[in-house]
Amino acid sequence: MQKTEQKQKTKILIADDEALIRQDLKEILTEVGYDVVAEAKDGYHALELAKITLPDLMVLDIKMPNINGLEAAEEIQIALNKRIPTVILTAYNQVELVQKAGEVGAFAFLTKPVKPQDLIASIETAKFRAKEMESLNQDISDLKEKLEIRKLVEKAKGIIMKKLSLDEPEAMHYLQKKSMDDRVSIKKVAELIINDGKLN
């Protein structure tokens, strides 16, 4: 398989309590150009290594001693305060495990023994879905910001219309001019008017 620039940038943490499986996973991932930054023997070890290496993506076995893969995924994301795309490995194909995996940010669920092509496909899918979710969250955040600005502008316009006896278009023009003259955002102008009530 050919290495790509994109894959080389992806830092991956792998965790499995079987050393041979960890070695196989590392070989598969390294061969196609991923950067395996940590190998953990159990969930607790994965948590400690994640804090040090800050992986972009995780491949975790579900059944490990101390902390299992699902618990580790949840605790790692809490510790790092970010959602990390995760591929969960298991010898069991149970519906409740799949549901739980989705709740902790797992974007793919593979049953052992894992085929190299399935692992690579799952990782690329997890990366793609994580980007989609990040983009969606950004869109939601942008929309909330726009709605917040609109509310502030409407409230400030009401104050301007009342104090200066202006109609709505004139009040909006007042806000825009003040924003340009003071070289600050219209949101900032609106906040100052609402909080101070001054129109100088």
Looking at the DSSP assignment, which residues form a beta bridge with residue 1? none
Cβ pair 160, 195 in contact under 8 A:
no
Which candidate, 52, 96, 104, places its Cα nearest to that of 75?
A: 104
First-to-final CA distance of the chain: 67
The percentage of the chain sitting over the pLDDT mark of 90, rounded to a whole number, equals: 28
191 φψ region: left (φ > 0), alpha (ψ -120 to 50), beta (else): alpha
Side-chain-facing half-sphere of 59: CA atoms under 13 Å: 33
Give me the architecture of the 142-196 domain, per CATH: Orthogonal Bundle (1.10)
What are the residue boundaries of the structural domains of the chain, listed by start? 5-114, 142-196
User: Is-contact 122 87, C-beta < 8 A?
Assistant: yes
What does the pLDDT look like over 29-84, one tens digit per residue? Answer: 999 999 999 999 998 999 999 999 999 999 999 888 888 888 898 899 888 888 88
pLDDT given at position 98: 66
Give tens-digit pLDDT for 132-164: 777 777 778 878 888 888 899 889 988 888 888
**Cα separation, 161 vs 96, whole angstroms:** 59
SS3 178: helix
Q: What tokens were used for 98?
A: 């799949």
Token look-up 């917040």 returns: 148
Q: How much is the pLDDT for 59? A: 95
Buried b (16+ CB within 10 A) or exposed e, 101-131: beebbbbbbbeeebeeeebbebbeebbeebe
Residue 172: name the closest of 188, 184, 155 by CA: 155
Structure-model confidence comparison of residues 130 and 61, the more confident one: 61
Select the CATH number that applies to the domain covering 5-114 from these four: 3.30.9.10, 3.40.50.2300, 3.30.390.10, 2.40.128.690: 3.40.50.2300
